[in-house]
Amino acid sequence: MTNGEQPPTILCVSTYVKGEAFMREAARLGCRVFLLTLDKHRAAEWPRDVLAEIFTMPEGLATSQVINTVCYLARSRRIDRIVALDEFDMETVAALREHMRIPGMGLSTTLFFRDKLAMRTQAQAAGIRVPEFTAVLNYDDLRYWMSRVPAPWLLKPRTEASAIGIRKIHEPDELWRALDELGDRQSHFLLERFVRGVIFHVDGIVDNRQTLLAAVHQYGQPPMQVMHEGGVFTTRTVERGSPASEALTAMHQRLMVGMGMVRGVTHVEFIRGLADNEFYFLEAAARVGGAFIAEVVEHSYGINPWAEWARIEVANLRGERYQLAPTRNDYAGSVLCLARVAEPDLSRYDAPEVVYRMKKHHHAGLIVCSPDAKRVEGLLDDYSRRFAQDFIAVLPAPDKPTA
């Protein structure tokens, strides 16, 4: 315990409704857990039975205002650690840690996991292959870059998550028009060569700068394609010991060292180019993967990334050594899409391997699990085709995150 017999305290900050397993595990381990969220999420389904207090704030506060809010709370409540449950809160929480001198990832390291330009530069410095890219700053540099890198290109926001805000550019005039639209915001973008290929994600658990778990998975359609063109999202565990699994595990460790990751969870995406069969780094986040990826990892490896993240934080807070919970070697995969009806009927998807059915309005989704990787792959192929016939709805890609 810190400060006599008082239990250690963790302040969770989240502008989206997520992270229940983190909060429950931290409370189970004896911490007092506070939550700071938005006014609009006041009535959301938070794990109120384990939270010491819930505080809310208006949407759109400046970082300085959030700092003032938390420091006001700290006058009567000791705060030992602060955790951002959502990616879009990471920079604010890093600023809070630095202002309050609370241990954890600071602003400089946080940018390696938020700013796509910073993370590419750092990955390249760590010796990891990255698609050719350039900052959107000097126009002569942009002209030269486009003259030597064949189109198409991707114009990417530097600090959005997933495929939000990405534009595919086919020729220089199209870029100049896009930059005119962006105006003063254009420096917050980068330009990158489009690589056609298969996308993988590595969901990692890191402590003391070492990757203790690298759960390697492969998407079906690229998330950018699903978001912009519609379709069914799938992901599945890659066969353990396969060349892809071994290569990506090693790349993840090298990347974490290069980015200065000390402890926590990661969601890192790579693409294997169809033209050369080589792996390229796409992006890294110091968070639990979305789109029910945490549940896929839990069913295939037997551990919940949210809960392990809480165990890492609490162990560090108490000066103890964290030990990864025992894992298992099953294979899992998910299939997910927007649905035309509010409550899709999944009863006809009745394979014995179905272990989880999503309950979310206007979404159809399930998880399958088996000791056999090929069985999981076959079920996902079948179910994704059937989802496209039975449920799928297509909406325009969002230009900003939605809760």
Q: Are strands 197-207 and 233-237 parallel, antiparallel or unpaired?
A: unpaired
If one compares 395 and 152, the residue with the highest pLDDT of the two is 152
Q: Are strands 189-193 and 153-157 parallel, antiparallel or unpaired?
A: antiparallel
Task: For residue range 20-45, list pLDDT tens digits in order.
Answer: 999 999 999 999 999 999 999 999 99
User: Is pLDDT at 60 greater than 70 in this prediction?
Assistant: yes
End-to-end CA distance of the chain, in Å? 36
The H-or-E segment that residue 152 falls in is none
Task: For residue range 324-338, list pLDDT tens digits in order.
Answer: 989 999 999 999 999
Q: Could you give the domains of the chain?
A: 9-104 (3.40.50.20), 132-193 (3.30.1490.20), 197-390 (3.30.470.20)
* Interacting residues of 235 by C-beta distance below 8 A, sequence separation 6+: 201, 217, 218, 219, 220, 291, 293, 296, 333, 334
User: Is pLDDT at 181 greater than 90 in this prediction?
Assistant: yes
Give me the pLDDT at residue 227, please.
Answer: 62
Give me the pLDDT at residue 222, please.
Answer: 73
Task: For residue range 70-117, list pLDDT tens digits in order.
Answer: 999 999 999 999 999 999 999 999 999 999 999 999 999 999 999 999
pLDDT band at 56 (very low <50, low <70, confident <90, very high): very high
Check if the beta carbon of residue 201 is closer than 8 Å to that of residue 269.
yes
Give me the pLDDT at residue 104, please.
Answer: 96
What's the average model confidence in pLDDT over 170-189? 97
Task: For residue range 291-320, list pLDDT tens digits in order.
Answer: 899 999 999 999 999 999 999 999 999 999
Q: What's the rounded Cα separation, in Å, for the pair 366 and 360?
A: 11
User: Is pLDDT at 230 greater than 70 in this prediction?
Assistant: no
Q: How many helices (H) and strands (E) does the chain have?
A: 12, 16
Query: Which CA distances in Å does 41 have to 15, 195, 198?
Result: 8, 39, 36
Nearest to 200 by CA among 180, 182, 218: 218
* Interacting residues of 28 by C-beta distance below 8 A, sequence separation 6+: 50
